[in-house]
Amino acid sequence: MCGITGIFALSPNGKRLLGKVSESTYCLQHRGPEGEGLHFEEHIALGHRRLKIIDISDQAAQPMSDPSGRYTIVFNGEIFNYKTLKKELEKSGTRFRSESDTETLLHLYIRDGERALEQLEGEYAFAIYDKQENSLFLARDRFGIKPLYYFFDADRFIFASEMGSLLPYGIPRSLDRASLELYLHLNYVPAPWTMLEGVHKMEAGQQIVIRNGQVNRSYHYILPWGEPVKMGYGEAKKNVAELLENSVKERMVADVPLGCFLSGGLDSSIVSLLASRYAKGLKTFSVGFHEERYFDETPYAQLLAKKIGSEHHVFSIGNKELFDELENVLASLDEPFADSSALAVGLLSKKTRREVKVALSGDGADELFGGYNKHRAEWRLRNGGPVNSVLCIAGSLFKRIPSSRNSAFANRIRQLKRFAEGASLDEKERYWLWAGFTNSGNANNLLSGQKNENAEFPRRKAGLTQKVDKTMNSVLYTDMKMVLEGDMLVKVDRMSMAHSLEVRVPFLDHKLVSLVSGLPSEFKIGKGKGKMILRDAFAELLPAEILNRKKHGFEVPLLRWLRTELRHLIEEDLSEQKIKAQGIFDHNQVDHLVKKLFSPDPGDAAARIWGLLVFQRWWKKYMI
């Protein structure tokens, strides 16, 4: 697991920028603190920062070239089936000088070209330069686990694992207003866009070829939604269990200490349970808030740890420790990203890294199997019945009752209000409402200047929701494409790599995804219950307390903090003077939102205010 960067010159002006690769590589040192490598050719410069996981010898250092010197690779990620691929290559005469998956990937590409991607089991983002053809090939894994940003113009094509690492190359820093509007609704910017015009995220399953001055983008993998799998429930349940166990086993390949994140939820409990079968004395890790019991899940994690006999580490965190970590978290974000649970993930990663270099997580299961509260709400609306009418009436009647995410009761009221609001919308608009923290109009109102002047925003919004139709599987597909890739995987990658910790996600094995995506939605969501087939597949192995738990997000007590210890951030960054001088937001609307935050009925104001604060911090660091 590493950080990569590079610049491919398309003109004489581009050649003069090749030396900037050194500064760009330096920006990625947190992703790979154990080594740095640079490679220069006439038209290209490549940079690499190394975190040693597989083959920790110097023979596996990057950038890595083949014996002929024609091909050179920079690679971030892990190929879990590299040993099998290596044996096949050796049978055909390929000689290896290391035991690394990087060298296996390089030789597989030399032999099979783009078809090599079909054979990979893993998470990756890489670039391979062909000196003879003077071409560059880049690819990102099927689900977007490992990141890659890029920018190109007439002079150069540049890429890097993080957007901040592109800045040393002197790219334009112009705010993308449509991306900002997306961000104000979602609290993140979904792929392929970023907050800077002209800078893109490579999409999941995408590949790019630069040859003869042309940049060609295509896809080596497309999510297989809409391809039905004809299989009974019993057989499907058995296959889910077997595929997931094989995925966990594959992802335990490492030459360094490995453990598991264990929150106490269903997904991380299953991963930890399966991992314990293949690792004696498995280390598991959870984080709890001893001052905020509503947000503390550690008792469930300890229950599972005792059952599987893992060496469990509970990191009990107080508000002071979280506040002390806040600056580190914000400093690690080179693009506005306001999922507040990143604070908890950052601290969990920081403390876990003291014990291991690799951790398995349960990310991906909610999107794949339908585990979010919004999925159950969608199922209720689509299946009708008197309960819907009762919930909608309740949501309307409870409009005057205070709601927030800060307690079980207030959160339930918030959910009822959101349910009633979504019930009156069509599938696409309801999806968009429930995917974010407000409606599109409220997000747009926060911006200064003439409203609704940006035609690009509705085009992007329509593209993100285009697959949503009357089937529940279409909702899960869209979550895999937008929420998982743009929010959940970004959060885990940034927070873990900020502390040089590699995180692997067994639920995103492509064979498992292919199976589950084709199963009928009623195998996954029914009678108001999510992840049905996953629960049933492991029902005999997990404690009832974990199996029957209601969904509880990995959240932090943001509302109380913003009203108290973090109030100074609002006063500093959202003051009338600062907002007007900046010229991006409408101060009256921001002030209205701040007043709502301190009102008896804050709703989702805390999340929206946090989004503004994160943006302001990014703006000061990168745009002024």
Nearest to 357 by CA among 20, 31, 82, 127: 31
Cis peptide before 402 (omega within 30 of 0): no
Residue 463 CB-density burial (10 A; 0-12 exposed, 13-18 middle, 19+ buried): exposed
Task: Count the neighbouring beta carbons within 10 Å of the beta carbon of residue 92.
Answer: 8
- CA–chain centroid gap for 399, Å, is 33
Q: Are 65 and 195 in contact (CB under 8 A)?
A: no
User: Phi/psi zone of residue 500: left (φ > 0), alpha (ψ -120 to 50 degrees), beta?
Assistant: left
User: Nearest-5° angle of CA 585, CA 606, CA 387?
Assistant: 115
Q: How many CB atoms lie within 10 A of CB 255?
A: 16
- DSSP lists the bridge partners of residue 526 as 529
Which pair of structure tokens corresponds to residue 150?
């890029």
Long-range Cβ contact pairs of 170-174 (< 8 A, separation 24 or more): 170/17, 170/20, 171/196, 171/198, 171/199, 172/196, 172/197, 172/198, 173/622, 173/623, 174/198
Instruction: Let me know how many helices (H) and strands (E) the chain has, helices first.
Output: 27, 17
At 475, phi and psi to the nearest 5?
-70, -45
In angstroms, rounded to a whole number, what is the distance separating the alpha carbons of residues 479 and 82? Answer: 30
Do 194 and 163 form a contact (C-beta atoms < 8 A)? yes
- Other Cβ atoms closer than 10 A to 333: 22
Active-site choice (2, 27, 260, 392): 2
Cβ 565 vs Cβ 557: under 8 Å: no
Residue 2 annotated among the catalytic residues of the structure: yes
For residues 602 and 594, give the distance between their C-alpha atoms in angstroms, rounded to a whole number.
9
- Contact residues for 299 (Cβ-Cβ < 8 A; gap 6+): 264
Q: Please enumerate in sequence order all residues whose Cβ is within 8 A of that of 588, keeping only pairs 6 or more positions apart, or say none.
A: none
Of 423, 419, 403, residue with least CA distance to 411? 403
The β-bridge partners of 42 are none
Helix (H) or strand (E) holding 397: helix 386-397
Structure tokens at 115: 């078809």
Token code pair at residue 274: 């399966």
What angle separates helix 177-186 from helix 456-464, to the nearest 10 degrees?
50
Q: Are 263 and 362 in contact (CB under 8 A)?
A: yes
In three-state form (DSSP H/G/I as H, E/B as E, the rest C), the secondary structure along 526-588 is: ECCECCHHHHHHCCCCCCHHHHCCCCCCCCCCHHHHHHCCCHHHHHHHCCHHHHHHHCCECHH
Length of the chain: 624
Q: Which SS3 state, helix, strand or coil, does residue 11 take?
A: coil
Per the CB < 8 A criterion, the answer to whether 568 and 299 are in contact is: no
Active-site residue set? 2
